[in-house]
Amino acid sequence: MTLRKNPLILKIIGVLLFLLLFNTSGNSQIFKHLNFPEERPNFPISVGLGLGPNYGLLGIKTIIGKNNSGLLISVGSPDGLPTGQIGLQIAKTNGFFVNAGYGAYGVIFENDNRNVLLGAIIMVGAMHDLIRTRRLFLDTGLGIAFGGSYFSFFENKNIPVSSFTFHVGLGYRLGNLDE
């Protein structure tokens, strides 16, 4: 699926860019009235459901580590067969993050063949707190994926595929707070 052929994806990316660009402190101005406390608690695990490479294309993203920094593991299934990603995420205390990993970043169907694009994925994004306890958050990100290829039966050769990508999900932070 290319961006030029799918205007819905371009609109979604535009909304994500808007959220990222107008996010000044890790808390979207949309939720400014909630008066979040200044200190961000240290939750050891965060889990989310979403769409994009950080969510195994369509599935679950888990970060194991304090302040949403640590090991990134995702498992998903856009079409009934498993996909995933493994990598590292580094997050600032204000909710902004960068992560890098290896995993699925797309699926190409050609006739009856399913080709999962596997490669390196680098994403930047933000976790927008939705409630005062900071457990529930909206996870948005933009990035680039590269290194993948698929075998085209029409052209009888491997075709490399790189792409800009995005993710969006709803997450929840688990565990006890550090005292």
Q: How far apart are CA 82 and CA 69, in angstroms?
A: 25
Q: Where are the domains of the chain?
A: 3-174
Mean pLDDT for the chain overall = 82
- Cite the beta strand spans of the chain per DSSP E: 45-52, 57-64, 70-76, 83-91, 96-110, 113-129, 136-152, 157-174
pLDDT band at 118 (very low <50, low <70, confident <90, very high): very high
CA angle 168, 169, 174 (to 5 degrees): 145
pLDDT at 163 over 50: yes
- Split at pLDDT 50, 70, 90, the class of 66 is confident
Spatial separation of the C-alpha atoms in residues 71 and 86, rounded to whole Å: 8
Neighbours of 16 (CB within 10 A): 19
Question: Each residue of 14-48: pLDDT tens digit?
Answer: 666 655 555 544 444 555 555 555 566 678 999 99
> Structure tokens of 149?
């290829």
Number of Cβ within 10 Å of residue 141's Cβ equals 25
**The model scores a pTM over 0.85:** no
3-174: CATH topology: Porin (2.40.160)
- Beta-bridge mates of residue 89: 70, 99
Inform me whether the pLDDT recorded for 6 exceeds 60.
no
Evaluate whether 60 touches 89 at the Cβ level (below 8 Å).
no
Amino acid at 170: L
For 170, the 3-state DSSP assignment is: strand
